[in-house]
Chain A
Amino acid sequence: MTGAVLLVLPIGIPWLLAAVLALADGRRRWVGLLAAAGLGASLVSLGFLASAVLREGAVEVVSGGWPIGVGISLRADALGVTFAAVSVGVILVSTLYEISLGVRWRVFPALVLLVAAGLNGLFLTGDAFNFYVFFEVSMTASFVLAGYREEDYQVRAAFLFAVINLLGSVVFLIGIAALYSITGSLDMETISRRAEGLEPSSVIVIAAVIFAAFCLKLGLFPFHFWLPAVYVGSHAPVAAILSGSLANIGSYGILRFGAGVLPRELELGSVAVMALGAASIVYGGLQAISRRDTSEVMAYSAIGQVGYILLAVGVGAPVGYAAAILYSVVNSLNKGVVFLAAGLRGPLVGGAFAVGAFSIAGVPPAAGFVGKIAVFKAAIAANPTFASLALVALIFAGSALSFLYSFQVYQRRFVKPDPRAPDKPSPRAARLLVAALAALVVLLGLWPEPLVYLSEAAAAVLTGGSG
C-alpha cells in the first residue's frame, strides 16, 4: 500500500464508520463491536504507517493534489504516529470495556470513533489550522462523551469541561490566526521557516497563548481546575479516554508547536515551562495524597504526571524531547489502566490497578520506570549544574509523593476489605481487558526498546526539523 493511502486510513476508517454508525443503535452489541473493529483497523493501519515512517522517513500527502500550503498537507512522522497509536489504543480498550459493561447511549460508538478520527487527524496533519479543526472534532465529541450516562454530576462535568475547553480553543484559534498573520502560511513547516526570520518579540506572545491553550488541555497547574471534576465525574472508560487519549493533545501540541514550529520561542520560555512543570508535579502530588475517591486521586496524579513532561520539554534537546514523548506514552497507558480498573470490582482488577500504580510510581517491571529513567536522564543533562540538581531533586520528590498516594489509595480500595462493597464482580470481559492492558504495560517495561527507539526517532523529527 502506498504511503498516501496509509496516511489517510487511520483518520478515514473511524470517520466513515462513525458517519454510518451514527444512525444505528449503538446499544446493540454488533454496533459497538463494529466500532471497535474500526478502531482496531485504524490502529493496525497506524502500525503499518509507523513501520513505513520509521523505514523511509515522514510520509506526506497534500489534499487535492495541490502544492504544499495551498492544499492541506497531511504529514505522518514518528512523533505523530506514536501519539496517534497510543491514543487510539486507549480508546479501543475503553470502547471494548464499555461494550462489555453494556453501552447505554445509541451514539456512544459514533462518538468514540469521532474522538479517534479527530485525534488521528490532528496528530497526522501538517497544517496549523487543520490541526485546530481536528482538535475541535475530537473535543466536541468528548464534550458530549463527558456527559455519558447522564448522571447529574456527569452533565455538570460535561458543561464545565465544554466551557473551559472552548475558552482554550478560542485562545488557541487566536494563536493560529496570529501565526498566519505574521507568516502568511498555515503549513507548519513553512510557518517554522518564516518565523525563524522574524523578531522573537512578535512571535513569543503568540507562542505564549498557544502554550497556554495546550497547558489547559493537559491540565497543568494552574490551568487544571476543571480537570478533577471532569475526570471524577466521568464514567470510567470516558475518564480513560479523556486522560489517556485527549490529554495527549496537550503534550503533542506543546512538542509540535513548541519544539517543532517555534523552537526558538520555546527555548526563550524554557524557564517558565519548567517552572510550570515543577509546580504541577508538587501540586498534583500533594493534592492526590489524601483524596478519598480512587478516580480523584488519579485525576490529581494526572496533573502531577504531566509536570514531568513539561520538565523534559523545558530541558529540550533530543534527550528532553525523547523523554517527554516516552513519558507521555507511558502516562497514557497508566491512566488508561488505573481509570478503567477503578471502575470495576472482582478478581484481576486489583492486580491491574497495582500494575498501574507501580507504573506511576516508576517501579519496574511496569513501564513507568522507563519513563522515569528518561526524565531523569533529561534532568541530568540539563544546564547549568544547579538547575540539573534541582530538577533531579524535584523529580525524586515527585516520585516519592507518587509512591505515597498510589499505594495509599490502592490499599484502601483494593486490599482493605470493604464491607459495603457489593459482592458481585464486574463482567469478566471487562476485567480481562483491564488485565490485558496492564499486561501490556508490564510487557513494555520488560522490553522497553521499542518505546525508547520510537521516542528517540520522534524526538529526532523535532530536532531535525528545526535545524
Chain B
Amino acid sequence: MTLFSALVVSVVFASGTFLLLQRDLLRTVVGIVLISNSATLFIVSAGLTRGAAPIYPLPEDGGVSDPLVQGMALTALIIGFAVAALLLAMVYRLYATHGTVDAEEISDAEMREAEALERADDPEKEEVPTEEQEPEEEEARAR
C-alpha cells in the first residue's frame, strides 16, 4: 500500500506538471489543481493511523483514522481551490487583454516589450571612457 499510494500521488503530480508545461493557460490551471490534489491525497494517505472516522463515540474495537491529517487536508484543499479560482480569474483577464489563452503568444508579448526596452538605448558603451583622443604635445605643435 505504501508503494502504491506513493505511485498514485506521483502520477497525479506528474500529470499536473505535464499540464503546467502546456501552452494553454487553462491547462496550466488544471495542472495546478491536479498537483494540489496530489498534495491533498498525500496528506490524507500520510495519516499515521487508519480506521473508522474520528467521530465520537469512537469504535471500541479498532482505532480511528488520523484526524490531524484530515484537518490539514481540508485546509490545503480549500486553499488550493481558492487560488485555483484566482488563477481562473487571471486567465480570463489575460484573455481579455491579450485576446488569447496561449502562453507562447503571451510570452511573445513579454519578449517584444523586453526587446523594445533593450533596443531603446545602448548605454554601456558610454560608461566606458572613450579612447583618449588627446594629441601629444609634439603633434599638437606641429599642426
Chain A residues with CB under 8 Å of chain B are 129, 132-133, 136, 140, 143-144, 147, 150, 152-153, 155-156, 158-159, 162-163, 166-167, 170, 173-174, 177-178, 180-181, 184, 186, 229, 289-290, 292-293, 296, 408, 411-412
User: Does B83 contact A162, Cβ atoms closer than 8 Å?
Assistant: yes
- State the main secondary structure of chain B at its contact with A: helix
Once A155-B90, A156-B106, A158-B90 are accepted as A-B contacts, the answer to whether A408 and B123 lie under 8 Å apart by CB is: yes
User: Does B121 contact A170, Cβ atoms closer than 8 Å?
Assistant: no
| The 7 residue pairs across chains A and B that have the minimum distance between CB atoms | A181-B46, A177-B43, A159-B90, A152-B97, A173-B39, A170-B35, A170-B39
| Number of A-B residue pairs at CB separation under 8 A | 96
- State the main secondary structure of chain A at its contact with B: helix
Shortest CB-to-CB span from B73 to chain A, Å, is 9
User: Does B97 contact A177, Cβ atoms closer than 8 Å?
Assistant: no
User: Does B98 contact A152, Cβ atoms closer than 8 Å?
Assistant: yes
Q: Give the distance in Å from the alpha carbon of A180 to the alpha carbon of B70 in the complex.
A: 12
**Residues of the A chain whose Cβ atoms lie less than 8 Å from the Cβ of B36:** 166, 170
**Residues of the B chain whose Cβ atoms lie less than 8 Å from the Cβ of A411:** 127
Query: Is B52 on the interface with A (CB-CB < 8 A)?
Result: no
User: Does B83 contact A293, Cβ atoms closer than 8 Å?
Assistant: no
Once A155-B97, A177-B46, A177-B72 are accepted as A-B contacts, the answer to whether A140 and B32 lie under 8 Å apart by CB is: no
- Count how many chain B residues have C-beta atoms less than 8 Å from C-beta atoms of the other chain: 41
**Residues of the A chain whose Cβ atoms lie less than 8 Å from the Cβ of B109:** 152, 156
16 other contacts beyond A143-B83, A170-B36, with CB at 8 A cut-off?
A133-B79, A140-B86, A147-B93, A152-B97, A155-B94, A156-B98, A159-B87, A166-B36, A173-B76, A177-B46, A177-B69, A177-B72, A178-B42, A181-B48, A184-B48, A296-B117
Q: Give the distance in Å from the alpha carbon of A229 to the alpha carbon of B48 in the complex.
A: 42
Give chain B interface residues in 109-135, CB to chain A under 8 Å: 109-110, 113, 117-118, 120-121, 123-124, 127
User: Does A167 contact B32, Cβ atoms closer than 8 Å?
Assistant: yes
**Residues of the B chain whose Cβ atoms lie less than 8 Å from the Cβ of A296:** 117
Q: Give the distance in Å from the alpha carbon of A147 to the alpha carbon of B123 in the complex.
A: 30
Once A140-B86, A170-B35, A173-B39 are accepted as A-B contacts, the answer to whether A292 and B117 lie under 8 Å apart by CB is: yes
Can you name 26 A-B residue pairings with CB atoms under 8 Å?
A133-B75, A133-B79, A136-B83, A147-B90, A150-B93, A155-B94, A156-B94, A159-B25, A163-B20, A170-B32, A170-B35, A170-B39, A173-B39, A174-B39, A177-B42, A178-B46, A180-B68, A180-B69, A181-B46, A181-B48, A289-B124, A292-B118, A293-B117, A296-B117, A408-B123, A412-B127
